[in-house]
Chain A
C-alpha cells in the first residue's frame, strides 16, 4: 500500500476532517429533526455553517484561574486525535494516508488519549460542573476502553496483522460484521463513548449544565464540538464493514458510504436513547459487555484455527 507525499498528507487529512465533521453535523441534524417531527428543508444543509459562524463571533469565556494551557490544548488534542484516526483509514487497496504497520495499536492509543483530552477539558476550567463531568467520564472511559482492546485484537486475528489495511483485505468475501457479530455493536459502544455521544454523553450532558463545556464559548467551543463529530466519523467502516471493499463503486466511495451509514446509526442512537447513569454503565460494562468481548475474541480465535 502506498503512502502520500509529506506535504499532501495534512492537507488531505484536513479535507477529510472537514468533510466528516460537516457530514456528521448534517446527519445529526437530520436524525434529530426526524425524531422531533420537524421538517428537514434545504436550509438544514447550511445550518452547520450558520451555527459555526455564530460560535466563532462569540467571545471565548474566562473562568477564575483556569489552567489556560490545558484548557486550550484539550480541544486541539481531541481534534488532533480524531484526525489521526481518520488518517489510519485505508481508502483503497493501494492507499491510506498513514499506512502504519501497527495501525490497530495506534488506534488503541488514540482511544486512550481521548480519555485524557476529555478529562483535561473538564478539569482545566477550574469550575465545578465541568470537573464533575470529567470525573464521571473517566469512570465510563476506563470501562469501555477494555472492550475496545479485545474487540480490536479479535479483528486483527483473521488478518494475522495489526495493520488496518490488512484487516480490510482479510474481510474479502466475508466481512467481520458477519464473522464476529458481537464486534460491531461493541465497537459502536466504544464510538459513542469516545465521542461522548447520546446514551454515553456523560461528559457534556445537560444534567451538568453542559458538563465539560459548561464554561466554554467561542472558538474553543466550536473546536470541541467539531472534535466530537470528527471522532464519530473516524469510527469508520474499516474494521467490521470491509472498508473500501464492495462492487461497482470505487474504494473511497465505499468507505464514504459505509461511514455515512455508521454515522446514521450513531446519530439515531444519540437522539433515541437516554443517557445511561454512570454507575449503571460501569456495572453493565464490566459484568455483561466485557465478558461478551471475551466471547468475541474467543470466536475470532476459534475461527482462525
Chain B
C-alpha cells in the first residue's frame, strides 16, 4: 500500500524532485519528509493497490527530471528571443 524512497539532498536538486514527482500524483498520495541529509518520499496508493514504484525507476525519473529542468533553464533565453522574433509580424500595437 505504501513505499518509501530516500533521496540524498546533495545529489538531486529540489526542482528535479518536484518535476519527477508530477508523474506519480495521479495514482499516489506523495508526502515528503526530511532529516538533515536526506529527503524521504512516501508513496501511498490511492486505490489501495500495491505501490508500483521501484527505487531504481524513481532514480531514473530523477535523472531525467534533473536534465530536462537544467536544459529548460539553459535554453530559455534562445527560445524566448527567437520566438519573439518569429512572432514579431503578428504583434499588435501593444506588442
Whether A and B are associated in the same complex: the answer reads no
Interface residues of B (CB under 8 A from A): none
